[in-house]
Structures are given as C-alpha cells and as structure tokens.
Chain A
C-alpha cells in the first residue's frame, strides 16, 4: 500500500483560505468515504480534524472543512489563523481493515 500523495507545503496569510489535497487510488480514497485529516503541531500527537470525508468532531472549528472528488480528497482551512500553522496528514481506509496515511503537508501562516 503506497502512501497517499499530499503537497509538501502550503502557505497563506492570516484570514485567507488554503486547500490541501490528498490523492490516492480507487483502492483507498476513491473506494471509500472514510477519509480523515489530522493536525500535528511540533512535538505533539496528531489531532483528528475531519473524518468520513467531511464530518467535524466536536470542538473542531467550522473553519475546517473536507470534501472528496474521485481519488482526491481535500481539506480547506478558511480564515487562516496563526495557530493553524502545523503539519496536516490525510488518511484513508484501504479495505480489508487496512489504512494508509498521506505524506503530509506543512501549512505555513505568512
């Protein structure tokens, strides 16, 4: 199972919107509506931000939204804030009780 492909870095100014992509295959992202996104600040454990493509856990601001088209999932961060600067990873169920993570995107707030 190969890692899902994410851009290495994305940047934006405070208040702007950024969109992160996560590209897989028909066997993972495209085959199931079980894409999730995780935020990881330096030295911290990952935190669930989006699950089942577009659902937000309690406590996650609605500035974070998810979507999917074909084999590519996306995470959009609206109204970018300084605290959003972190690494973001996507993950997808890949069938037969296997999962795969993305390569990770570093979000920089300019």
Chain B
C-alpha cells in the first residue's frame, strides 16, 4: 500500500542546515508530486510548495524561497527538504504529502519530522 516514510527528528543549532527525507512506497514515484507542509508548534498547516517527481521542478510558496530547497533521488523514490541558515522560527513539524495523479489534494501523508532549532 502507499506509504510515505520520513526521517527522524532533528535538533540543530541556529545557522546550521537540515535535510529531511521522505521515502515513498507502494506506487510509481514519478507519477505523483510531493508536497511539503509545515506545522509550527500549536499552529495550523502551512503549504510550503511541491516538487514534480517526474521532472524535479520545484514550486515554492511565498515565504519559502531562498533557504528552502526541494529535491529528489528517483533511484530510491525519495524526496528531500533542505533548510539552510536555520532560525528558531523554523522549529516545526514538517510533513511530506502526495498529490495523486490528476488530483488536486493530498491523499497520503508522511508521519512528520520534527525539526527543533535551539542553541
């Protein structure tokens, strides 16, 4: 069955970088886009953008340009979110989710990766 499995929690110092992975199982990876969603502590869901799993072309939402980079390794059906120059306000749960073929919603979600930025 379809599953998205994310990497484990991260504790980083301010100014460092972090790379979160999202490995897909149970479907043809290149057929569905991967979206990234942020949830700050006690806050709502915020769409960060998506990456075309076929072409690797990323699209970033407003507020997620510059320090945020989406990438892929199609050989292992894995998407990545890299955040550089980490700030305390980047502390959040980061989810990957699948955008099904010919769909405009998020049908499967990873379990979330907690990134904590603290000195």
Chain A residues in the interface with B (C-beta under 8 A): 1, 3, 32, 34, 36, 38, 40, 45-48, 51-52, 57, 87, 89, 91, 93, 97-104
Give the distance to chain B from A100, nearest Cβ to Cβ, in Å: 6
Q: Which of B13-21, B39-47, B78-86 contacts A (4 or more CB under 8 A)?
A: B39-47
Distance, CA A61 to CA B64, complexed state (A): 36
The count of chain B contact residues (Cβ–Cβ below 8 Å) is: 22
Chain B residues in the interface with A (C-beta under 8 A): 35, 37, 44-47, 50, 59, 61-62, 95, 97, 103-112
User: Is A3 a contact of B35 with CB atoms below 8 Å?
Assistant: no
Distance, CA A40 to CA B109, complexed state (A): 11
Other-chain contact of B45, A38, A47, A48 (Cβ < 8 Å):
A38
A45 surroundings in chain B (CB, below 8 A): 95, 109-112
Give the distance to chain B from A51, nearest Cβ to Cβ, in Å: 4
Other-chain contact of A48, B35, B50, B95, B107 (Cβ < 8 Å):
B107
Q: Which residue from chain A places its CB closest to the CB of B52 in the assembled complex?
A: A97
Give the distance to chain B from A99, nearest Cβ to Cβ, in Å: 5
Q: Given A91-B47, A103-B44, do A48 and B104 touch, yes or no (CB 8 Å)?
A: no
User: Is B106 a contact of A48 with CB atoms below 8 Å?
Assistant: yes
Distance, CA A51 to CA B45, complexed state (A): 17
Other-chain contact of B105, A34, A97, A102, A103 (Cβ < 8 Å):
A34
A38 surroundings in chain B (CB, below 8 A): 45, 106
Other-chain contact of A36, B50, B62, B106 (Cβ < 8 Å):
B106
User: Is B45 a contact of A101 with CB atoms below 8 Å?
Assistant: yes
